[in-house]
Structure 1
Amino acid sequence: MSDQNPTPQTSPTTDQGGELQSLLQRVPPANMQAEQALLGAILTNNKAYESVSDFLHPSHFADAVNAHLYELITRRIERNGGKGGVDIITMRGDFEASATLAAAGGTEYVAKLLNAMVGIVNARDYGKVIHDCWVRRQLIGIGTDIVNNAFGARPDLDGPEQISASEEALFNLATDKGQEGGFLVFSQALKSALEIADQAYRHTGDIVGLTSGLRDFDKKTGGLHPSDLLILAGRPAMGKTALATKIAFSAARALMQEAQDEGLERPRGSVAIFSLEMSSEQLATRILSEQAEVSGERIRRGDIGSKDFDRFVRVATELQRLPLHIDDTPAISLSAMRTRCRRLARTHGLSLVVVDYLQLMRPAIGTRPDSRVLEISMITQGLKAIAKELDVPVIALSQLSRQVESRDDKRPMLSDLRESGSIEQDADAVMFVYREEYYLQQRKPKDSTYSSPEKYQLALEEWQRKMSLVHNKAELILEKQRHGPTGTIPLYFEGEFTRFGDLDSFHE
């Protein structure tokens, strides 16, 4: 029996490796003719520079010599105040002093550029071609990093973190300022402003944005507006999470009601809560406690009767239909948050994002800030970018520094924001929640500190009088609002259910 040698077959792995090798051997996208033609056009007529200066930078050129020449020309034009007068004669000194240009042929190379010039009419098209090639080269670089990291070049990043880092790189490329921008015709801006005013006119209560569920807050702000970053800050135990939960729940209920009024199967948008401090179960329990009017403490102890349980079932049935999504990932990164917001916007629509709270977040994967202040700055800038990209309001909770406790008047100020520089700068609105009752409760008189029972009784009566004035009351201090007035908004607060509401004569 003769041996039969099987026909050699190339393994799929070998084929894939060969394809990858051939891909890596490809020449990165570049258009030298367009680069040379553009530089020649600018040297011939400086108006060609005006057509590309708003989006084209030296780093976009593939050829280092062309990039250097564009930078020299740009510098001279800007120095002249954009008045022109920059050509091969006036730039002769700069060209002769350039070692980079000398290595490429000196003035002979510049003469080549002038010969390559076709005309200034197509200058902007040349610039777009150059920029497009740059974008493609960046994509190749990102793809190469993805492959290398997957093979173990970054052992400090696990799989999900590598995905976040890749998405972050793509996001930065997609939002590069060189790709879009420029002036908007005033008539278009005016049309948008009139549409917003028309919406406010048609809506009851002059609310054009998403409702917060707080009457007086909506009156002062017009509701929650798309692309706004709102900071809600306060000291511990002031009720930041409770107030943010109230706003998120009210917004979700308004979205559901709008869908029902319009006969839609599901709401157009949803509300996302990133709860970095509390678990999703704890947050759900808090909402259930507020709506069913059963204290969270009784729920945790199991101290509920049959009537309470029936109310639980009824309220839970209503709540589970709300377009409310909770992510309780601890120490979530900005990259992961952006990815999940995009996914939610794509699948269910997105109308509001709540972050509890920003000091527990991490900056984008792959970044290593030198200080905590810089880290917070990157986070607030990233949250503002999410608000603008997805066109939704973002409410971020923030802790206050302890210097509040050292003052007699413990009402917060902007300077009390922890790592406050960037928070105050990036936010469209900064709000503080404050409850005088909390601090007054701690100052209850003790009989041991008074020399006689009479003095103690007088002090106790005075304390009780002050407590009656602030009982179940809270303040929402609107310290900064980029688009409207500031001021203090009185609120009603029920500590038993950790519930905020409007302060009116009924509650008093």
Structure 2
Amino acid sequence: MSHPYEPSPHGGMADEPPPFQPHDGDQNALDQDEGDEALLRAGASLISTIRKYLPGASDYDVGRFCGELSRLAEAYALPPHNLEAEQALLGALMVNNGVYERFRDRLKPEHFADPVNGRIYAAAMQLMDAGKGVSPITLKNIFDQDDTLAEIGGAKYLVRLAASVVTVVNAEDYAESIIGLWQRRQLLDVVRETSVALGRVGVENNVPQLVQQMESRLYDLAEKGEAMGSPVEPMPTVGARVRQQIEAAYKSEGRSYGIGLGLPILDEIIGRWAAPQLIILGGRPAMGKTTVARSFARYAARSCRETRDYLHDVQEAAARGHRVLFATYEMSGDEQYVGWLSYETGLAADAMKQGRLQPAQIAAAVEASHNLDRLPIQIDGSATNTVEALFNRARRAQRRGGLDFLVVDYIQLMQAGADRWRQSSRTQDVSEISRGLKMLAKDLSIPVLALSQLNRSVEQREDKRPLLADLRESGAIEQDADKVVFLYRHEYYLHQAEPQRRPDENDDKFHDRYENWQRACDEARGKAELIVAKRRDGKTGKAGINLNLMTGRMTENDQEAQ
């Protein structure tokens, strides 16, 4: 029988498979899947070979084995990399900052093979996490004094990265490719370092320790790779959490689940807000969407995070209420504040703005304002209305004081962040915004209530009650949303249709018709419908409420839920 390390007929060593051959061709053209599998096989074979041969091997044997390792390492002298993927990802990030959220928790600067690209990405991360935009201009300010970037073109290199982008759809694929190639480089480092270490250690004492070290590094690398993907949880972990939720819901008669809406009928028909839901509140202009959203935000802030009970004491609400961020793009923060003040005082917003108040009313407004100040509500009135900017502000709010509920007023006034460098349809932009809001809800584990306009086609129908198809500019809103609720006020449309006398109509007929219209207006006055058109966790339906647009207060009416 031949010695384990004697040459074999196929040119390798006896009793072992042929030496590992790297994939032919340029490293940039390496097939990633084939390369990954081959390197993993090489790593496993390396451990097996060390365990099998080295414990009793001679110095000669160790040298031969090191030679095999060296040849493997030299075959990959140019580390696996894909500069095109790195450049495409950086360009996509500058064109559309929103793609950052697709890989921000996985892709790190050290994953880039080109150090300059890695430093550009690090600077982009710093800007994004600070709530600032990333573009060739903002990055240029950081790299103005950077000689390394200057050697490859300086600011022109940044502009070229952004200008060469055709689409941002593949940005996540670029990130995965960069991460995968980094893992392969790490695995090759293990092979090289093990080769060097084997030439230095004493065979009898240190080889088992070396094997353990190598195994540990390979397992660490594998675990890091898993951590870069989507979180994977075993069924018992998920099951334990769900059982706790079910038990808590039973003990609290359902109040432990999510955030209440303020009225029992709404909790029943619409369902409480729960993480990580994206809820769409849609309606035509003048329906009162913002008024209703403010009411939901106020009730959330005044309901206890632990017990879900309503907190009458404002000091207790400040400490224990749900923490709300209200992003307002249509109205200013001052206007939203006056709306909440109207709710607290029962005074009309116009009367307060125009100073048409009695001394007692002014005193009541001031006192109510001080109480309102204590509620855990933050108003985001920033003019920067991209999804990524909102994401950063919401994350900052959650990090600093906690965040339980986000309201966005409204989707069609947001920007996808892509229009600076590429042309895209508004439908594509709204789809990207909708997807971004859903990702925000999942990433921060909070419910997000987003207001949405509806298409004008509603006005052409005899029955003006909205349908899912009426969601403006994007069917993606319907797809991404966990719940879609429409606000409808028949009173508004009745007032738009005041009867006019027809040429062939006598006085009595016109009078009867006008009286019927007045009667219908009286019956519809102050009433609204919240129509649940989609609900992933329950059935659809309709709830009738009383809605006072002057104060924003909602109450139940006598209409039965359907």
TM-score (norm: length of structure 1): 0.67
CA contact (8 A) 2:109 2:118 kept: no
The equivalent of 1:134 in structure 2 is 111
Q: Are positions 1:202 and 2:251 aligned together?
A: yes
Match of 1:70 in 2: 32
Match of 1:483 among 532, 537, 559: 537
Which of 142, 145, 148 aligns to 1:150? It is 142
Kindly state the Cα deviation for residue 183 of structure 1 after the two structures are TM-superposed.
Answer: 4.3
1:143 alignment partner AA: A
2:446 counterpart of 1:392: yes
The residue number in structure 2 matching 1:51 is none
Measure, in 1, the Cα distance between the counterparts of 2:442 and 2:374: 28
Question: How far 1:468 moved relative to its partner?
Answer: 3.1
Give the secondary structure class of the aligned counterpart of 2:250: helix
Q: Which moved more, 1:288-297 or 1:65-74?
A: 65-74
The answer to whether the 8 Å contact 2:326/2:379 transfers is yes
Query: Aligned equivalents of 1:427 and 1:206: distance in 2?
Result: 23
User: Contact conserved, 1:492 with 1:500, CA < 8 A, in 2?
Assistant: yes
State the match for 1:439 in structure 2: 493
What residue identity is the alignment partner of 2:466?
Answer: P
Q: Deviations over 1:217-248 (max 9, x none)?
A: 21234411011111111000000000111101
Q: Which residue of 2 aligns with 1:82?
A: none
Q: Return closer, same or farther for 1:265/1:313 CA change in 2, 3 Å cut-off.
A: closer
Deviation at 1:300, TM superposition (A): 2.5
Maintained 8 Å contact 1:445/1:460: yes
Could you tell me how far 1:332 is from its partner in structure 2?
A: 1.3
Query: In the alignment, residue 134 of structure 1 is paired with which amino acid?
Result: H
Q: Please tell me whether the aligned partners of residues 301 and 323 of structure 2 are also in contact (alpha carbons under 8 angstroms).
A: yes
Is 1:211 paired with 2:260?
yes
The residue type equivalent to 1:209 in the other structure is G
1:413 lines up with 2:467 in the alignment: yes
Pick closer, same or farther for the CA change 1:310–1:195 going to 2, 3 Å: same
- How far does residue 261 in structure 1 lie from its aligned partner after superposition? 11
C-alpha displacement of 1:404: 0.3
Counterpart in the other structure of 1:318: 371
Deviation at 1:328, TM superposition (A): 1.4
Write out aligned runs for 1:65-464 (5 A). Answer: 65=27, 68-72=30-34, 134=111, 139-143=118-122, 148-151=140-143, 153=155, 179-181=228-230, 183-255=232-304, 266-267=319-320, 269-330=322-383, 332-364=385-417, 368=422, 370-447=424-501, 451-464=505-518
The one-letter amino acid of 1:379's match is I
Give the SS at the match of 1:294: coil
Aligned residues: 391
User: Amino acid of the residue matched to residue 428 of structure 2?
Assistant: L
Whether the 8 Å CA contact 2:529–2:542 is kept in 1: the answer is yes
Residues 411 and 433 in structure 2, CA contact (< 8 A), matched pair in contact too: yes
> Shift in Å at residue 71 of structure 1?
3.5
Shift of 1:66: 7.8
Q: Secondary structure at the match of 2:402?
A: coil
Structure 2 CA distance, aligned partners of 1:467 and 1:405? 19
Change over 3 Å in CA distance of 1:144–1:387 after alignment to 2: closer
SS in 1 for 2:555: strand
Specify whether residues 429 and 459 from structure 1 end up closer, same or farther in structure 2 by C-alpha distance, changes over 3 A only: same
- Contact preservation (8 Å) 1:353, 1:395: yes
Given that residues 404 and 412 in structure 1 are in contact (C-alpha distance below 8 angstroms), is that contact kept between their aligned partners in structure 2? yes
Aligned to 1:163: none
Q: How far apart in 2 are the matches of 1:475 and 1:198?
A: 33
Taking the aligned partners of 1:140 and 1:248, their CA distance within structure 2 comes to 41
Judging changes above 3 Å, is the alpha-carbon distance between structure 1 residues 132 and 295 closer, same or farther for their aligned structure 2 residues? closer
CA contact (8 A) 1:276 1:330 kept: yes
* SS of equivalent residue, structure 1 residue 433: strand
Quick one: which amino acid aligns to residue 433 of structure 1? Answer: L
Query: What is the CA distance between 1:73 and its match in structure 2?
Result: 6.6
Paired residue type of 2:380: D
For residue 150 of structure 1, what is the amino acid of its counterpart?
I
Q: Deviations over 1:109-146 (max 9, x none)?
A: 9x9659999xxxxxxxxxxxx99952686743413667
Q: Distance in 1 between matches of 2:526 and 2:317?
A: 39
Q: Which stretches in structure 2 are left out of the alignment for 5+ residues?
A: 1-17, 39-67, 77-106, 125-137, 145-154, 160-170, 180-225
Instruction: Tell which deviates more after alignment, 209-218 or 265-274.
Output: 265-274
> Using a 3 Å threshold, how does the CA distance of structure 1 residues 75 and 271 change in structure 2: closer, same or farther?
same
8 A Cα contact 1:474 1:492, kept in partner:
yes
Offset at 1:503? Answer: 2.6
- CA shift for structure 1 position 187: 1.6
Q: Is 1:246–1:499's contact at 8 Å kept on the other side of the alignment?
A: yes
Aligned-partner Cα distance in 1 for 2:298–2:349: 17
Conserved in 1, the CA contact under 8 Å of 2:455 and 2:471?
yes
In 1, Cα distance between the equivalents of 2:501 and 2:318? 63
1:446-482 C-alpha deviation (Å, 9 max, x unpaired): 3466632211210012112322332221111111111
TM-score by length of 2: 0.61
Change (3 A) 1:135 1:204: farther
